[in-house]
């Protein structure tokens, strides 16, 4: 319901803007072209306020939105240099916070096999492969930069409320394997990257439980499927 409400508000704003521009009361086109990065910032703030497993996606959206907004306001000129600086800053922050963020009390697990209800895994300049056997899987987060991560959920079972996974992939790839009776819904923002849903159950209205994945793919990709290559 929240998703439908947000989409409804967006359409109302767009419709009102076009209507006011038709009346020569507001240059809606100029406003959109100048301030569209604010959409990224608002979405990022929303994600930070949500009860999410990982805040990284929200931080990335806010930083990207701020960078492009400063460029549109002619405050920031060479976006590419700042983009790469941001990538390395994120990697540095990730490495420095690694030990603090992934304590056993968080019920997180890295690599190998486990039966926890939440999985938090990440890789930088390397690879990680995790197999989960949870009988009430609720979600987790995956972060990879210049690396690859495989998450095997073929022997896991979704919780009665389904599950939610945050994925951030930059210059790498993430593969998630799920059972054939799971519904999978992927949303997010592709930044010179993308995702592929190769599962058979894509209709969230059927009887199966749903795994929801929010993905930010920057020069990287996410594949969700029923098998290993």
Q: What is the DSSP string of the chain?
A: -HHHHHHHHHHHHHHHHHHHHHTTS--HHHHHHHHTHHHHHHHHHHHHHS--S-SHHHHHHHHHHHHHHHHHTTS---HHHHHHHHHHHHHHHHHHHHHHHS-GGGT---SEEE--SEEEEEEESSEEEEEE--SSB-EEEEEEESSEEEEE-TT--B-TT-EEEEEEEESSEEEEE--TT-EEEEEEEEES-EEEE--S---TTSSS-EEEEEEEEES-EEEEESS--
Per the confidence metrics, is the pTM higher than 0.75?
Answer: no
Q: Supply the pLDDT for residue 175.
A: 94
% of residues, the chain, pLDDT over 70: 76
Domain boundaries, the chain: 1-95, 111-223
Which residue would you say has higher pLDDT here, 51 or 89? 89
Q: What is the mean pLDDT of the chain?
A: 79
Mean pLDDT score, 8-14: 78
Which residue would you say has higher pLDDT here, 23 or 108? 23
- The model's pLDDT over 55-94, given as tens digits with 9 standing for 90+, comes to 666 777 788 888 888 888 887 777 666 777 776 776 666 6
């Amino acid at each position: 319901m929240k998703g439908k409400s947000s989409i409804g508000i967006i359409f109302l704003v767009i419709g009102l803007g076009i209507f006011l521009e038709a009346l020569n009361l507001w240059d809606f086109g100029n406003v959109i072209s100048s301030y569209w990065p604010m959409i990224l910032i608002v979405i990022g703030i929303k994600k930070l306020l949500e009860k999410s497993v990982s805040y990284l996606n929200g931080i990335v959206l806010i930083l990207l939105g701020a960078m492009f907004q400063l460029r549109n306001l002619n405050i920031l000129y060479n976006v590419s240099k700042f983009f790469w600086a941001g990538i390395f800053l994120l990697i540095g922050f990730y490495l420095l916070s690694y030990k603090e963020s992934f304590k056993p009390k968080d019920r997180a697990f890295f690599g190998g096999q486990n039966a926890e209800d939440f999985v938090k895994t990440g890789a930088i300049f390397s690879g990680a492969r995790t197999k989960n056997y949870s009988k009430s899987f609720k979600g987790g987060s995956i972060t990879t930069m210049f690396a690859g991560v495989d998450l095997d959920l073929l022997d896991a079972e979704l919780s009665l409320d389904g599950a939610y996974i945050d994925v951030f992939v930059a210059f790498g790839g993430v593969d998630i394997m799920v059972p054939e009776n799971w519904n999978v819904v992927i949303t997010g923002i592709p930044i010179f990257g993308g995702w592929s849903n190769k599962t058979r159950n894509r209709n969230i209205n059927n009887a199966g439980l749903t795994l929801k994945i929010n993905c930010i793919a920057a020069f990287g990709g996410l594949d969700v499927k029923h098998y290993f290559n």
